Amino acid sequence: MAPSPTQTADPVSRPTPAFSPLYRQIKALILQSLQASEWKPGELIPSEQELASRFRVSQGTVRKAVDELAADNLLLRRQGKGTFVSTHAEQQSQVRFLRLIPDHAGDEGPVQRHIVDCKRQRANAEVARALGLRAGDAVLQVRRVLAYPVQGRAVPTILEDLWLPGVPFKGLTAERLNGYSGPMYALFETEFGVHMVRAAEKIRAIAAEAEHAHLLEVARGSPLLSVERTAFTYKDVPMEWRRGLYRTDTHHYRNELS
């Protein structure tokens, strides 16, 4: 069999050019196709056999590449059906990146979302740095409040400000956000072709300022969880920066360590 991705490197003598196994090269090729939207979120990708013959490697090598992409949550394998591009849609009753859990298991149900604001801005230094832009570049700022049911009553629990780069999200308005019922990241996928792949959060405890207190219906100075998140698309390009303020008197942030 003749591997088409170059395995033996160029003949120039090098101490070991950061040796990369075949399956990682295949993984990179598949990633490229994902980035290029050759297959879109939710869609079926070619079978392992097809990919193997396309890349001129054995099925086992493709399998290992796909295994890693599935472990990274970029692909989703379903026995008997095929391998699918992962998506934030169809994540029924669970927003993938949201770790806030009700303290009492009974308190589950539909969230009420309210867009407080949605406007074009110029990025300040902090936002620009987080999004890899220059200060003054166009960004979109969205502010919203999420209210969760607690013993039957909707309690405003999350106040979020989020900033999006202006160019890829041109045309996003409060109306479009309001007219959509699924997760926000699913709307980003279908309407703007932006698939969030991973995110990093910085969590702090802060005291509620007057404005926050009012929107979350808590006393000024109440302790709130501040959750700053940078979300990335395929090539680790930052595409969203958000700051959430969470009430943690009825909910908590859950994290698993290993």
Partner DNA sequence: GAGTGGTCTAGACCACACT
Partner DNA sequence: GTGTGGTCTAGACCACTCC
Query: Binding residues for a second copy, per CB under 8 A?
Result: 71-73, 96-97, 99, 197-207, 221-226, 229, 246, 248, 252-258
DSSP secondary structure letter of residue 44: B
64 contacts which partner out of DNA, a second copy, none, CB within 5 to 8 A by kind? DNA
The total of other beta-carbon atoms located within 10 Å of residue 52's CB is 19
User: Which C-beta is closer to DNA: that of 13 or that of 16?
Assistant: 16
User: Which C-beta is closer to a second copy: that of 89 or that of 138?
Assistant: 89
Q: Select from 160, 173, 162, 165 the least CA-distant residue to 122.
A: 165
To the nearest whole angstrom, how small is the minimum distance from the Cβ of residue 2 to DNA?
8
To the nearest whole angstrom, how small is the minimum distance from the Cβ of residue 50 to DNA?
7
Distance CA(23)–CA(9), nearest Å, equals 15
Residues 34-63 contacting DNA, CB under 7 A = 45, 47-50, 57-61, 63
How many residues touch DNA under the rule CB under 7 A: the total is 28
To the nearest whole angstrom, how small is the minimum distance from the Cβ of residue 171 to a second copy?
27
61 contacts which partner out of DNA, a second copy, none, CB within 5 to 8 A by kind? DNA
Q: Kindly report the CA angle at 98 between 73 and 176, in degrees rounded to 5?
A: 95
Instruction: Return the residue of 3, 156, 182, 238 that touches DNA, per CB under 7 A.
Output: 3
The total of other beta-carbon atoms located within 10 Å of residue 57's CB is 23
Residues that bind DNA (CB under 7 A): 1, 3, 7, 16, 19, 21-24, 45, 47-50, 57-61, 63-64, 77-83
